[in-house]
Amino acid sequence: MVKEVTTKRRKVRKSLKLSVLDAAAFSAMLGLTQNYITPFALALKATTAQVGLLASVPSFTTALSQLAAPKLSQRAGSRKGFILPVAFGHALMWLPILLIPYVFPGPKVWWLIGFVTLSGVLSSIANPAWGSMMADLVPEEVRGRYFSFRGRIAGFISLVFSLIAGGVLQLFTGNVFVGFSIIFAGAMLFRLLSLYFLSGMYEPPISYGKEGGQSLLYMVGHLGSSNLGRFIIYVALVNFATNIAAPFFAVYMLRDLKFNYVTYMLIIAFNAIANLVFLTFWGRRADRAGNIKVIRVTSFLLPFVPLVWLGSPNMYYLMGAEILSGFAWSGFNLAIVNFVYDASEPENRTKYIALFNSIVLVASCLGALTGGYLAPHLPPVLGYQLRTLFTISGVLRGLVVASLLRFIFEVRRVPKMNIVQFLLGRSGSTERN
């Protein structure tokens, strides 16, 4: 028995190290692509409405696929057995995307929307199974620290490769599609490397027999009556308000302000740097004070993120705006995922993660569609229509935070502390919030 426990612990430690390497390879792929799909669309002559569709249609399709994820994972016989072939398919999707300017006929933006949609489904359909497996591997009391450490590694790699991608595109300014082909080919190779690390991870056993107790329809019907359900609704509405503006910051910089790829890349890089710097800060406080405390503090900042973009078009000012964004979103995104892990029962965790992802993605899709529709019809604020869109997004975020956040509560026993104790890292009296 002792030998069995020791062997399991060794497998878990190895898997957690491999997960960090997986994150590094996956983030190299993200760095090469996530901030450059919209510039690629603009190079293909996409309109503002098409940029909105590029952000919304993949989110909506991905949301629908999430609902099938728990059943598909179960039919595969194991979570890992489902994750690996899906990850392989996702890696291969970068090939048709990089070939769009050369091979596919007609209006090429529509091909991009189609392939990015399929890529998004393959990228995320295994997330519930992966999240369930990681929640079993990472002890509850160190999730904040582990995922913040993993996130720092991922963020650093993503930043480095985002800078490389921007440099490649600037180098090929005269033939920008060659530059895009290079960075998308690199993305495919790094996704395959990520798959290699995933294949070596250990999957703790799970009893699927217990999962028959609650169906997804039951969970949907009781969203408003449970703490986790109210939390899912809250995060979904925050994402709806956010995505009214989020897809259009790149359009604002590249089309309206006419920044080149290097300037665009540098501004985006400050967001990634802020994420790197502050993930440890938030991870330690999430472990000590609870995830909801982190969510409350960062939620207060989120409405200001798009509003500060109204202040000035100066690149150095916008770098500061991105630091604020990185500070707020690094804590919010870390804490919301860990809260879902904490608040869901292990036997139903895959379903809850799928439901969370699905509802949040639908809300994101609707937000992007709303923003894409509104943008051409809005009166300009300080000279630009997109600044009006940023204002609407900030106001809506504030309304959601003010009206709903107070109905969500911590599920772990954590010290009660005021905001000064929380920010300074001091402990308070222990009680369940």
pLDDT digits (tens, 9 = 90+) for 7-44: 778 888 899 999 999 999 999 999 999 889 989 999 99
Residue 1 has pLDDT above 70, yes or no: no
Residue 176 has pLDDT above 80, yes or no: yes
Residue 413 has pLDDT above 50, yes or no: yes
Residue 213 has pLDDT above 60, yes or no: no
Q: Which residues, other chains included, contact 16 with Cβ-Cβ below 8 Å and sequence gap of 6+?
A: 137, 138, 146
pLDDT at 297: 94
Overall average pLDDT of the 402-409 stretch: 93
* 64 confidence band (pLDDT: 50, 70, 90): confident
Residue 432 has pLDDT above 90, yes or no: no
Q: Where are the domains of the chain?
A: 2-198+222-432
If we measure between CA atoms, which residue out of 139, 429, 422 comes closest to residue 290? 422
Q: Of 142 and 169, which is predicted with more confidence?
A: 169
Q: Which CATH class is domain 2-198+222-432?
A: mainly alpha
Helix (H, G, I), strand (E, B) or coil at 260: coil
Overall average pLDDT of the 86-103 stretch: 94
CB 269 within 8 A of CB 34: no
Give the Cα-Cα-Cα angle 48, 52, 54 (nearest 5 degrees). Answer: 110
Residue 234 has pLDDT above 60, yes or no: yes
* 5 confidence band (pLDDT: 50, 70, 90): low
Q: Of 321 and 346, which is predicted with more confidence?
A: 321
pLDDT at 185: 96
Measured CA to CA in angstroms, residue 390 lies from 8, 79, 374, 386, 387 at distances of 50, 40, 11, 6, 5
pTM: 0.74
* 411 confidence band (pLDDT: 50, 70, 90): confident
CB 292 within 8 A of CB 339: yes
pLDDT at 92: 95
Q: Is 328 exposed, middle or buried (0-12, 13-18, 19+ CB in 10 A)?
A: buried
Q: Which residues, other chains included, contact 300 with Cβ-Cβ below 8 Å and sequence gap of 6+?
A: 401
Overall average pLDDT of the 270-284 stretch: 88
CB 28 within 8 A of CB 190: yes
Overall average pLDDT of the 236-246 stretch: 95
- State the Cα–Cα distance between residues 391 and 111, nearest whole angstrom: 32
What mean pLDDT is reported for the chain?
Answer: 87
Q: Residue 133: how many CA atoms within 13 Å on its side-chain side?
A: 23
* 206 confidence band (pLDDT: 50, 70, 90): low
pLDDT at 433: 46
Overall average pLDDT of the 409-414 stretch: 86
CB 203 within 8 A of CB 73: no
